[in-house]
Amino acid sequence: MTVPKLANAELAVMERLWQKGAQTARLLREHLYPDAANSMHGTIQRLLQRLEDKGFIDRDRDRAAHLFTPRVSREAYAAGRLEALADQVTGGSFVPMITHLVEERKLSDADMERLRRLLEEK
């Protein structure tokens, strides 16, 4: 699945939506820009429009203050970006990536055990 890469500001909006669920533009603005909330209204509106155009969020227009919800899950976004990285860096193979994580001990014992179980199930 091809998932477009998000800009840092777009990803910050998505992180908040993944954590909290449906949010208004005002709530997002107050969380992401607490010291300059009012002056960032246009910025948040543009970010939300870009995310909607890219298919990452849905906008509920049934209320005066529109509610924005994630359409793409964090897991789906991560999977798509990892696939793109594997295609770009290792010709589509995940083996070099996993090998690095295992050999450099970037995985916890619990993560290693989970990988073992997943491999045994396949």
Residue ranges of domains in the chain, CATH in brackets: 8-70 (1.10.10.10), 92-121 (no CATH)
Asked which of 11-15, 37-41, 58-62, 100-104 is least confident by mean pLDDT, the reply is: 37-41
DSSP tag of 40:
G
Place of tokens 């840092």: 8
Average pLDDT over residues 96-113: 87
Query: Residue 86 belongs to what H/E stretch?
Result: helix 74-90
Q: Output the pTM of the full model.
A: 0.83
* pLDDT tens per residue across span 67-84: 999 999 999 999 999 999
Cβ 40 vs Cβ 33: under 8 Å: yes
Q: Which residues contact 93 (CB under 8 A, 6 or more apart)?
A: 86
Placement of tokens 């954590």 in the chain: 19
